[in-house]
Structure 1
Amino acid sequence: IFGSISIPAVLGTLALWIVIFIILYKGVKRIGKVVALTVPIPTILLLILTIRGITLPGAIDGLNYFLTPDFSQLTNVSVWLSAYAQVFFSLSLAQGIMITYASYLKKKSDITNNACIAAFADAGTSFFAGFTVFSIVGYLAANQGVSIQNLGIAGPELIFITYPTAITLLPAAAVLFGIIFYFALLTFGIDSAFSMIEPMTNSVHQKWDMSKTKATAILCCIGFLLSLLFTAGNGLYLLEILDHFIAEFGLVTIGLLECILLGWFVPIKLFRKHANKTSDFTIGIWWDILIKIIIPTILILLLILSAINNILYPYQNYPWWLIVIIGVIPLLTITFLSIFFMKVSAPREEKNHA
């Protein structure tokens, strides 16, 4: 299943988890400094690569392919499933990240405005990045004399083909920009990793009355051990399966439960009133309706369609036994562990009851 272990990949993974631990150990202020340093660099690089990409022969064909809507795809279930999975991942929804970082804000922070800025900035960056990717895709298709549909580039390999190609075609300092690109890619991965570990660290710290340093060390060790599964020869394929099931089922299920909890079991009006007091943007009662009815209905429908689609058409035609082992079992395991840890009494809770 896994293939042979790659020692360089193992060492690289170990180094990354050590870096992640150090960043989290230094605390939130240091995390803010790391993000502030790493975010502007790829943005500037993206602008440079986009300018270069749209000047290449064949770029217009790629941009036409990117910007020309195909309304017939609106009836394609797979398109909707991929879209909501991308949104959940890109905005870090239902992962505890937003909740954790929001807890570090001042009490009167403008949460509504911050949420709007984050959403529009994310969507804008993704749209802008499409100009880079598809201009290069158009160039590659023209260079090989094939149509864009028959180019055969998709999935994770897309970024490792289009962006390096754009860098090699820069008129000057290609090596320097190549180093910057891979450094930016590395820092993006690290940023994503420690933002996922931070909510779990806080949960363990608060529930089990464990020091944040110890909780961070334990979770980083577990993360490293689990990461070893993907350092083998077939690691990329296994990661693709796991990523698919977490995005289409895991995150959406958590998002659904959050909506049900906030909409029906807590006074959601209090959240809306608090947000309106601290923001220039007023949220109306429509927000309550979205959280209580519309969004849960959409998520339930998408989960049902996703389940049917995955049963009828196994993901990427992988064998069922592999999908069950790598995709289904981890999801069920995480679910049962989450329920177990919620039910088990923690030392801090026992003290409070006493």
Structure 2
Amino acid sequence: MKRERWGSKSIFILAAIGSAVGLGNAWRFPGQAYANGGGAFFIPYFVALLTAGLPLLIMELAIGKKYQSGAPTAFRKMGKKKGFEWIGWWPLATSFVIVSYYAIIMAWTFNYLWHSLSMAWSSGSEDFFYGEVLQLTESPGVLGGFNVPILIGLVLTWIFVWYCIRNGVQSVGKIVKWTVPVPIALLVILGIRALTLPGAMEGINYYLSPNWSKLLDINVWAAAYGQIFFSLSVLFGIMIAYSSFLPEDADVPANGIIIAFSNSIISFIAGFAVFGTLGFLQHSTGILIEDMTVAGPGLAFVTYPAAMAELPGGIWVQVIFSLTFFLMLLTLGIDSAFSIVEGIVTGLVDKFGWNKRKTVTAVCIAGLAGGLIFATNAGLYWLDIVDHWVNDYNLIIIGIVECIVVGWIYGANKLRDYFNSTSNVKFGKWWEIMIKYVTPLSLLVINVLYLVDNLKEAYDGYDMQYLIIGGWGVVLVTIIVGFIFTVLKGKEDTQAS
């Protein structure tokens, strides 16, 4: 069967940028800058981009294009052994877990779009988010039943995801023409508006002012590498799947450079929008920026809405900019969500030869089912635990394994020769050095730091039983699922027998 192809080079780049640019740009990057030295954080961030993010991105794009397959089949072909499939299935199993809880954030966003019409959080954004929207229980062990509005939002999210990729890359191509430029335009609008608000420059100064002493803290460097890994959509199997639909003459290095730097520029712009708004909030409420929540869901659903409720111009101005903000979050998130599903679907279709549309439907239904625990009143706790372990352990170890396989077993020099052969941008030996030494070592250091932190004290004060179930337990399940799909017979095995 003839492989699908992107409609054009620009559509592929848009899709890849859409996958890379997500909620990590809108709230994780500003939060990392806030916590790790302000303007000084940009130095380790760009070092991490050049020494790890870009090399890994180029590696995965080249693997997908060379083997014209999703991650499992591509690694099987690369190693010429069935056991190498596991290196592709493990990230896809991890991706499935991630998209299961990523979708719940979209569900929250759907609810906030509705509540934006009345600015329902005006009397207190923190109580509104944790009390009225999430109806949060006292611990992960008290599920409290399903949160019906969130459950409805979750169903809507999966319907959107299914619609976006129901016809493979052809439907993705049509969707990303809107879902990539629209949130970027909305982000620019929010940034311009933020810069015109009283007090905005105090926030921008906080964002850009460097605390150089932070550069001596190894944890700041670890945070920078972590931000790069988690915001470029590498190690998920996504970029391998997306690049498998490229023609043989595609320029991998040029595409990778465009994708990587577009992602970083958008993160930088998001920082201006966020910190300009935080400066205004400090000006209007007297709450110092250093005392605000500037990370994760707290930024998007507590601090930013509080600022929207203070905007001058009356209720209609507040409603318009609240709708703009949450529409931006929704469109940023939906691209990343459906790209993860596309990576999983591509891996399944390539191995088993299943009908793609039916596979998309099945994966979406499974993703909805897998995310049900996050739609309970204890959902935020479980999201926090699962996200911490899956991101801070699974993805990092996957990166180390991929670097070892490509750098030392297959040969980084062979892959470099391959992608250079069709590129106007030639990568030198430095790329091999990154893949063989710098990237895996940096990943190993980050993983050890995270492990030490979690051994010293229970993560976020949760009871150990919940960390074992939602943390180590989920990690183990992804590893086992990877092995199960590796040993299952695929279409090639059936033909061979």
- Is the TM-score greater than 0.5? yes
Query: Which one of the candidate residues 382, 389, 401 is aligned to 1:238?
Result: 382
Q: Aligned AA for 2:489?
A: A
Aligned-partner Cα distance in 2 for 1:351–1:128: 51
The whole-number CA distance in structure 2 between the counterparts of 1:295 and 1:275 is: 19
Pair 160,94 (structure 1): closer, same or farther in 2 beyond 3 Å: same
Matches within 5 A, 1:264-283: 264-283=408-427
Kindly state the Cα deviation for residue 67 of structure 1 after the two structures are TM-superposed. Answer: 0.6
Q: Give the aligned partner of residue 290 of structure 1.
A: 434
- Matched-pair identity in %: 37
Q: Is the 8 A contact 1:81 1:248 kept in 2?
A: no
| CA apart distance, 1:88 | 1.8
SS at match of 1:327: helix
Cα deviation digits, residues 300-341 of structure 1 (max 9, x gap):
122111100121143222232222221221111101211222
- Given the alignment of the two structures, is residue 353 of structure 1 paired with residue 493 of structure 2, yes or no? no
State which of 30, 43, 59 in structure 1 corresponds to 2:171. Answer: 30
Please, which runs of 5 or more residues in structure 2 have no aligned partner?
1-140
The answer (yes or no) to whether the contact 1:136–1:162 under 8 Å persists in 2 is no
Range moving further from structure 2, 17-26 or 165-174: 165-174
| 1:106 aligned partner | 247
For residues 189-208 of structure 1, the C-alpha deviation after alignment (integer angstroms, 9 at most, x for no partner) is 22211111111111111222
Stretches of structure 1 lacking an aligned partner (at least 5 in a row)? none
Q: How far off its partner does 1:122 sit? A: 0.6
Q: How far off its partner does 1:158 sit? A: 0.6
- Matched AA of 2:144: G
The one-letter code matched in structure 2 to 1:92 is S
Equivalent position SS for 1:156: helix
- Alignment counterpart, residue 96 of structure 1, candidates 233, 237, 248: 237
Encode CA deviations 1:57-85: one digit per residue, 9 max, x unaligned: 22222112111122222343443343333
Give the corresponding residue for 1:248: 392
1:222 to partner: Cα distance = 1.3
Does structure 2 conserve the Cα–Cα contact (< 8 Å) formed by 1:113 and 1:279? yes
Structure-2 separation of matches of 1:198 and 1:191: 10
Matching of residues 54-203 of structure 1 within 5 Å: 54-161=195-302, 163-164=304-305, 165-166=307-308, 169=311, 174-203=318-347
- Given that 1:110 and 1:278 are in contact with CA atoms closer than 8 Å, whether structure 2 keeps it comes out as yes
Separation in 2 of the partners of 1:223 and 1:251? 19
Conservation of the 8 A alpha-carbon contact between 2:186 and 2:328: no
In structure 2, the CA distance between the partners of 1:307 and 1:188, relative to structure 1 (3 Å rule), is same
| Residue 142 of structure 1: how far off its partner (Å) | 2.7
Deviation at 1:87, TM superposition (A): 1.7
**Equivalent residue, structure 2, for 1:339:** 483
Structure 2 residue matching 1:336: 3-state secondary structure: helix
Question: SS of the residue aligned with 1:108?
Answer: coil
Give the Cα separation in 1 of the matches to 2:286 and 2:156: 42
- CA 152–298 in structure 1, closer or farther in 2 if over 3 Å, else same: closer
User: Is the CA contact (8 Å cut-off) linking 2:183 and 2:331 kept in structure 1?
Assistant: no
CA distance in 2, matches of 1:137, 1:195: 31
Q: Distance in 2 between matches of 1:7 and 1:156?
A: 20
Partners of 1:347 and 1:93 in 2: how far apart? 26
Name the CA distance, whole Å, in 2 between partners of 1:231 and 1:144. 33
Q: Which residue of 2 aligns with 1:318?
A: 462
The one-character-per-residue Cα deviations of 1:112-136 (angstroms, maximum 9, x if unpaired) are 0111111111111101110111111
With over 3 angstroms needed to count, the CA separation of the structure-2 counterparts of 1:276 and 1:253, relative to structure 1, is same
Amino acid of the structure 1 residue aligned with 2:285:
Q
Contact kept in structure 2, 1:56 and 1:139, CA below 8 Å: yes
Question: Does residue 473 of structure 2 align to residue 329 of structure 1?
Answer: yes
Question: In the TM superposition, what is the alpha-carbon distance from 1:299 to its structure 2 partner?
Answer: 1.2
Shift of 1:168: 6.4
How far apart in 1 are the matches of 2:412 and 2:293?
48
Q: Once superposed, what is the RMSD of the aligned Cα atoms?
A: 2.1
Give 1:227 deviation, angstroms. 0.9
Q: Figure out how many residues of one structure are paired with residues of the other and give that number.
A: 353
1:210 pairs with 2:354: yes
Residues 142, 181 of structure 1: alpha-carbon distance in 2 compared, 3 angstrom cutoff: closer
Deviation at 1:152, TM superposition (A): 4.1
SS of 2:436 mapped into structure 1? helix
SS in 2 for 1:346: coil
Mean Cα deviation higher: 248-257 or 169-178: 169-178
Q: Is this contact kept in 2: 1:38–1:184, CA < 8 A?
A: no
SS of structure 1 residue aligned to 2:410: coil
Structure 2 CA distance for partners of 1:320 and 1:84, relative to 1, 3 Å: farther
